[in-house]
Amino acid sequence: MKTPKTKKGVALIEFTIVALLLIAILFGIAEMAWMFSRYMLVSAVARQACRQYALADSVSNVSALILETSAELGLKPGSDGYNLIPELTYRTRSGNSWGPWLESADSAEPGDQVRVKITYTYPALVGAFILKDNTATVSAESIMRREESFIDQP
């Protein structure tokens, strides 16, 4: 029994449509895995910087540590298409609640909460199919309580 001429290319067209959908799903999975790995690295940098900041180190030292650590982990801050923005803030306790986050981070006293928030923008791995501007952004923050100064003491 012969198939009609109108049915000859149907299998090829169906395969093409299904294959394109599967490839798009595969690219999406790869992009999400890449984004998650970038998030884990940014989170590690934020945690390490916040620990240093909580030990009463200066903002300039903590900012230098952020750039150094992120470069060691392969985040490429300052490279073409890569942008790493650290934000160091603190807040004090007033009564039974915490006040708002303040920008003048060197003014933090022992017992205050300190926060390091890092926003990292990078070129997407296969983002042309998923992201409209071909960049992805991940953000992580860490909050700790500021301690007495233990740095540079004998």
Q: Is the pTM of this model over 0.85?
A: no
Length of the chain: 154
Strand partners, 82: none
Segment 55-94, tens digit of pLDDT: 877 888 888 888 888 888 888 877 777 888 899 999 998 8
CA distances 103 to 72, 107, 115, Å, are 27, 9, 10
94 located within any domain: yes
Q: Mean per-residue pLDDT for 119-127?
A: 82
2 located within any domain: no
153 located within any domain: no
Q: Note down the domain range covering 82.
A: 9-145
20 located within any domain: yes
Q: How many independent structural domains does the chain possess?
A: 1
